[in-house]
């Protein structure tokens, strides 16, 4: 579904990724773990075309985005590729980014009606179904400031799903939440992955990662130090740095 080949990226001549490779199969659930600053969020943003990179390519169902040093096609083609990838890949951020002046319902139908050309009636019907999926149908006519943080994040998930993506990216979706709200968001993500959605999640929730993942990727300083099944990563890590990192979480 998603192929990352020889990805290289730097900030102000400071390298982050240096020839990174990662393949994500359709229907898989890949969690990205590692210390803050290891490149998890940046990797997700590269997958969704929100961050440029210098070399290598990222392919999403055949739509291929090249590094800026390797692009041999015109700006119109680059724009079209980005547009197609962003339609295929939804993303939920650490911050909820809901429109404060719109109700929950209108936050969800805004993009499907304007980008996908779906009628308002169909978009509203889909939105209500999605609100039921995230257990918030009673909040359809509320405004974001009337919701808890966990509720706002669940609306953000519904809003991304309204675009009917083929894959979902979650960038530490619980990091801005109070502890008691974390479980309600993780429960919604668990329901989503149980339906077979291709999913990539950057998270510090190790128990959650162990529970839902088909693959776990441990990143540090832009390098994949270990990649394997949850059983291998969490209970039989081979890398010393991986063992030291997990010792903080796994008792």
The whole-angstrom separation of Cα 28 and Cα 225 is 20
Strand pairing category for 215-220 and 223-228: antiparallel
State percent of the chain over pLDDT 90: 73
Q: What is the mean pLDDT of residues 47-61?
A: 92
Where does the pLDDT of residue 8 fall: very low under 50, low under 70, confident under 90, or very high at 90 and above?
A: very high
- CA–CA distance from 45 to each of 6, 16, 62, 110, 224 (Å)? 16, 13, 18, 22, 17
Please state the pTM of the whole predicted model.
Answer: 0.92
Digit-coded pLDDT (tens) for 70-100: 766 677 888 888 888 988 899 999 888 899 9
Q: What is the pLDDT of residue 73?
A: 64
Q: What is the pLDDT of residue 71?
A: 66
Residue 251 confidence (pLDDT) above 70: no
Q: What is the mean pLDDT of residues 53-70?
A: 89
Give the residue from 88, 44, 95 showing the smallest Cα distance to 202. Answer: 44
All structural domains of the chain with their residue ranges: 2-246
What is the CATH class of 2-246? alpha beta
Q: What is the mean pLDDT of residues 225-246?
A: 92
* Contact predicate 32/201, CB 8 Å: yes
Instruction: Tell me the average pLDDT of the chain.
Output: 92
Where does the pLDDT of residue 178 fall: very low under 50, low under 70, confident under 90, or very high at 90 and above?
A: confident
């Amino acid at each position: 579904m998603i192929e990352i080949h020889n990805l290289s990226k730097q900030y102000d001549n400071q390298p982050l990724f240096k020839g990174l490779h990662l393949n994500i199969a359709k229907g898989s659930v890949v969690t990205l773990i590692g210390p803050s600053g290891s490149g998890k969020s940046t990797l997700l943003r590269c997958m969704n075309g929100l961050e440029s990179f210098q070399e290598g390519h990222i392919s999403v169902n055949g739509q291929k985005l090249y590094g800026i040093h390797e692009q041999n096609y015109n700006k119109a083609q680059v724009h079209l590729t980005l547009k197609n990838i962003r339609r295929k890949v939804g993303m939920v951020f650490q911050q909820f980014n809901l429109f404060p002046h719109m109700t929950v319902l209108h936050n969800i139908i805004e993009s499907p009606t304007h980008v996908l050309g779906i009628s308002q009636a169909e978009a509203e019907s889909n939105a209500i179904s999605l609100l039921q999926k995230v257990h918030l149908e009673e909040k359809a006519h509320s405004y974001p400031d009337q919701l808890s943080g966990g509720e706002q994040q669940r609306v953000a998930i519904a809003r991304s799903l309204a675009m009917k993506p083929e894959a979902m990216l979650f960038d530490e979706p619980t990091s801005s939440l109070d502890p008691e709200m974390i479980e309600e968001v993780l429960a919604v993500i668990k329901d989503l992955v149980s339906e077979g959605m291709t999913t990539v999640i950057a998270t510090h929730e190790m128990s959650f990662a162990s529970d839902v993942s088909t693959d776990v990727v441990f990143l540090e300083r832009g390098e994949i130090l270990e990649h394997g099944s949850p059983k291998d990563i969490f209970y039989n890590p081979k890398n010393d740095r991986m063992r030291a990192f997990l010792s903080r979480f796994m008792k």
